[in-house]
């Protein structure tokens, strides 16, 4: 069911899978419970590229050949989902552990995979479709859900799917944000950070196209019920994009590797990766192209920023900038518990934490949230506005935040010698890593680690290590 011989594994490096993932995400967001959970807890608006990368890594672990890795990832996903529950704007409860909700997520992935093959002129044979469906059923079983939440046979699945599309899905707020805000205002990936003109030009062309083909690929009954616009020529455009993307099957094996492309998006110019020098040269050319674009087109962006000062040598970012870039993880304009929970999720995922370390980190962040509420929530509405934060910035670095730093230190100090060496430090920031510890014998003490973490999290200064972890899109 899993590994390199599975039906799903054939799609992993297929560029059509990117289109299918976007489509599946839209269908997930149209489910009332999932849409509410996304609005309340997800970072997909403020940090879409990070969310995409995390989803890719999770799917890679779940469908890989190593069963131990798969079981560990399933346990992590279950812990994550167990923390996502609440009520939507109409006071309807949602729970990410609801087995029917989880079944719909898996159903959208399967159906979108089948649809992407059909739209690109390469429909799956019945036997291949049944094998793929069995693999997704096995995926759901690994998560621990009982059999029956997905129909047992493929024929019954299509009846279930039609019922969901015609009766259960809604034009949710999350759906509207994805289709009409995210694509139009998608932030640049880390690779293109600092090149706003170039990114604005590409987004102005690609954003509307992605939105149009996504809507056109959705089931017609749902498009009608949700009132999604019928754009003339959209079906032809959608079919053409899928067919053109499907032509990638004629490329030599190994030319398109999803893992390489994903890591490239997050490659830092000063990384020790051999590709970094090429990326640095390419960024220089793209900046020159951006300067030319500003001369001939009216894109509403400022000039490409110059490289900032080294860490600790220049002025800190403004309180408002830090609030938007780091604290407001969900992008709703406020600081509340879901923002800090998102930080805990990101850090625990990057460090590949197990119980009980993950729970200790969540508890430390929960204590910090209670401390912040007490100090900054002056109007008592249960959340902290940008204005409330800016008026009381020094209150951020309290005892609870110190506890967060100490938990991270203890998890990172793998050998328990009360120092973090270069290898341990690099493990903490292995994604988007920019800062190095000079020399193999140099060590990073607990007090120095806590001091640096508090300086960053209280907005006192920028950090070339923590910015890629929590601030990048």
Residue 269 has pLDDT above 80, yes or no: no
Residue-wise DSSP of 28-88: HHTSHHHHHHHHHH--TTT-HHHHHHHHHHHHHHHTSS-HHHHHHHHHHHHHHHHT-EEE-
Asked if 216 and 238 count as a contact pair (C-beta separation under 8 A), the reply is yes
What confidence tens digit (pLDDT) does each residue in 320-329 have?
A: 888 888 889 9
Domain C-terminal end among 249, 276, 309: 249
pLDDT(308) > 70: no
pLDDT of residue 352: 81
Q: Which residue has the higher pLDDT, 270 or 108?
A: 108
Asked whether the predicted pLDDT for residue 367 surpasses 90, the reply is: yes
Q: What's the pLDDT tens digit per position in 15-32?
A: 888 889 999 999 999 999
pTM of the full structure: 0.81
Domain with 236, as residue range(s), is 8-249
> What is the per-residue pLDDT for 215?
94
Number of C-beta neighbours around residue 281 at 10 A = 11
Distance from the first to the final alpha carbon of the chain? 34
Please report whether residue 222 resides in a domain: yes
pLDDT band of residue 449 (cuts 50, 70, 90) is confident
CA dist., res. 470 & res. 326, Å (int): 6
Which pLDDT does position 129 carry in this prediction?
95
Whether residue 220 sits in one domain with residue 140: yes
Q: What is the pLDDT of residue 119?
A: 93
Helix (H, G, I), strand (E, B) or coil at 93: strand
Comparing CA positions, the residue from 6, 10, 30, 13 lying closest to residue 105 is 30
Between β-strands 85-87 and 419-420, what pairing exists: parallel, antiparallel or unpaired?
A: unpaired
- The answer on 128 and 14 residing in a single domain is yes
The verdict on residue 291 lying in a domain is no
Max mean pLDDT among 206-215, 285-294, 422-431 falls in 206-215
- Is 436 contained in some domain? yes
Q: 243 and 342, same structural domain?
A: no
pLDDT of residue 432: 36
Radius of gyration of the chain (CA): 23
pLDDT tens readout for residues 323-357: 888 889 998 899 999 999 999 998 888 778 888 88
**CA atoms of 276 and 25, how far apart (whole Å):** 32
Per the structure, the count of domains in the chain is 2
Q: With the C-alpha atoms ordered 217, 24, 90, 167, is the resulting torsion angle positive or negative?
A: positive
Long-range contacts of 276-281 (CB under 8 A, 24+ apart): 279/191
Split at pLDDT 50, 70, 90, the class of 307 is very low
Report DSSP state, residue 323: I
Residue 309 neighbours by CB distance under 10 Å? 10
Assign 314 a pLDDT band (cuts: 50, 70, 90): very low
What is the DSSP secondary structure assignment for residue 381, as one 8-state letter? Answer: S
CATH code at position 328: 1.10.238.10
Our CA angle for 416, 420, 426, nearest 5°, is 125
Describe the crossing of helices 399-412 and 446-457 by its angle, rounded to 10 degrees: 130
pLDDT in tens, 238-257: 999 999 988 877 777 666 66
Cβ count within 10 A of residue 131? 15
pLDDT of residue 320: 83
In a domain, 40, yes or no: yes
Is residue 376 within 8 Å of residue 388, measured between CB atoms?
A: yes
């Amino acid at each position: 069911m899993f590994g390199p011989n599975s039906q799903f594994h054939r799609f992993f490096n297929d560029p059509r899978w990117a289109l299918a993932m976007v489509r599946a995400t839209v269908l997930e967001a149209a489910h009332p419970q999932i849409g509410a959970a996304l609005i309340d807890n997800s970072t997909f608006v403020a940090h879409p590229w990070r969310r995409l990368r995390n989803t890719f890594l999770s799917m890679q672990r779940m469908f890989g050949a190593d069963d131990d890795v798969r079981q560990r990832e399933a346990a992590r996903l279950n812990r994550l989902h167990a923390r996502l529950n609440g009520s939507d704007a109409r006071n309807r409860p949602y729970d990410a552990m609801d087995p029917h909700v989880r079944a719909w997520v898996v159903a959208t992935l399967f159906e979108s995979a089948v649809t992407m093959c059909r739209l690109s002129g390469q429909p799956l044979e019945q036997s291949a479709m049944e094998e793929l469906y069995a693999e997704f059923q096995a995926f759901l079983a690994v998560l621990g859900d009982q059999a029956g939440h997905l129909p047992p046979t493929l024929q019954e699945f299509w009846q279930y799917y039609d019922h969901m599309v015609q009766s259960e899905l809604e034009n949710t707020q999350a759906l509207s944000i994805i289709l009409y805000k995210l694509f139009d205002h998608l932030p640049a990936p880390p690779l293109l950070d600092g090149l706003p003109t170039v990114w604005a030009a590409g987004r102005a062309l690609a954003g509307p196209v992605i939105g149009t083909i996504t809507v056109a690929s959705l089931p017609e009954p749902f498009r009608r019920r949700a009132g999604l616009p019928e754009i003339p020529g959209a079906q032809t455009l959608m079919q053409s994009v899928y067919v053109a993307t499907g032509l990638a099957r004629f490329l030599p094996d190994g030319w398109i590797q999803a893992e390489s492309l994903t890591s490239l998006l997050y490659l830092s110019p000063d990384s020790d990766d051999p590709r970094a020098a090429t990326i640095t040269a390419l960024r220089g050319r793209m900046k020159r192209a951006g300067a030319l674009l500003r001369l001939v087109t009216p894109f509403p962006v400022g000039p490409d920023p110059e490289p900032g000062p080294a860490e600790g040598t220049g002025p800190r970012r403004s309180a408002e900038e830090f609030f938007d870039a780091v604290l407001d993880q969900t992008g709703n304009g406020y600081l509340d518990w879901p923002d800090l929970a998102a930080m805990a999720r990101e850090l625990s995922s990057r460090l590949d934490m197990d119980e009980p370390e993950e729970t200790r980190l969540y508890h430390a962040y929960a204590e910090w949230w209670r401390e912040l509420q007490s100090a900054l929530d002056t109007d008592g509405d249960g959340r902290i506005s940008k204005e409330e934060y800016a008026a009381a910035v020094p209150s951020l670095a309290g005892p609870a935040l110190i506890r967060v730093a100490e938990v991270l230190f203890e998890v990172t100090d793998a050998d328990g010698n009360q120092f973090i060496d270069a290898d341990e430090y690099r493990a903490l920031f292995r994604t988007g890593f920019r800062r190095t510890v000079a020399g193999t014998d140099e060590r990073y003490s607990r007090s120095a680690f806590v001091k640096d973490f508090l300086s960053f999290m209280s907005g006192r200064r920028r950090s070339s290590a923590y910015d890629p972890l929590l601030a990048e899109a």
